[in-house]
Amino acid sequence: MRKCRVHFENFPGSPYSQSAQATSPFLDREGNDDYDERTWREKCTTNSKGEVCVPAMAFKQLIDTTAQKLGEKVPGRKGSTFKNFIASGTFVTGDAPISNGTGKPLTPKDAEKRMIHANADGVRGSGKRVKRRFPEFPTYHGTVDFTIIDDIITQEVFERHVRAGGMLVGIGRFRPEKGGTNGRFRVTKVEWENLNL
């Protein structure tokens, strides 16, 4: 069993945007647009310290989706790909706080507001479009810890997948996997540690 700590930063021109559900109750006689304007920062995912984090499952889905997209074959396994091995043999140990690159954690107050015209029900092409506001971070850095429990996933294979995932799949709202341009990142450093159980 090994731990892989991945250091990442945004790809230039590809901000990170979040779209969690705001939880504040509506004010008396408050319309949807006014509510969205008042609560758009609540769409950030934060930890107990109030720091903006990339959810652990975003990275888990990134590595799984990348394995499916690449379809890289496992040597000596008669056409098997790494898809199932990565899906069952890796996990992410926690949410990944992001910073501004100088070590200062980002908070919802640091977010820029991005307003788009979105489908009212969230389904592309379904009908009426309305204004929606989302928090966006043009520059971000962070680290995420993966645990690899299947030895068939070598360091080279895993690093190749996580680097490709940063460009092909991405993280957050309007990421490349969904046809968007946000959430692309590049891996700046990878650290490995053997875990003894």
**Residue 86, H or E segment:** helix 83-89
* 139: CB partners within 8 A, 6+ apart: 9, 10, 15, 100, 101
Measured distance CA(31)–CA(191) in Å, rounded: 49
CB 104 within 8 A of CB 81: no
pLDDT at 55: 98
Q: Which of 18, 59, 7 is nearest to 41 (CA)?
A: 18
Model confidence pTM above 0.95? no
pLDDT at 50: 97
**Residue 165, H or E segment:** helix 155-168
Half-sphere exposure at residue 21, Cβ-oriented, CA atoms within 13 angstroms: 3
Measured distance CA(58)–CA(94) in Å, rounded: 11
Domains and CATH numbers, the chain: 2-194 (3.30.70)
| Angle ∠(115,121,123) on CA atoms, nearest 5 | 90
Measured distance CA(197)–CA(194) in Å, rounded: 10
Cross-strand bridge partners of residue 42: none
Q: For the chain, give the number of residues.
A: 197
Considering the chain, what is the average pLDDT of its residues? 95
Q: Which of 48, 51, 67, 60 is nearest to 18 (CA)?
A: 51
pLDDT band at 122 (very low <50, low <70, confident <90, very high): low
pLDDT band at 175 (very low <50, low <70, confident <90, very high): very high
pLDDT at 124: 72
What is the tens place of the pLDDT at every residue in 134-166?
999 999 999 999 999 999 999 999 999 999 999
Measured distance CA(190)–CA(76) in Å, rounded: 27
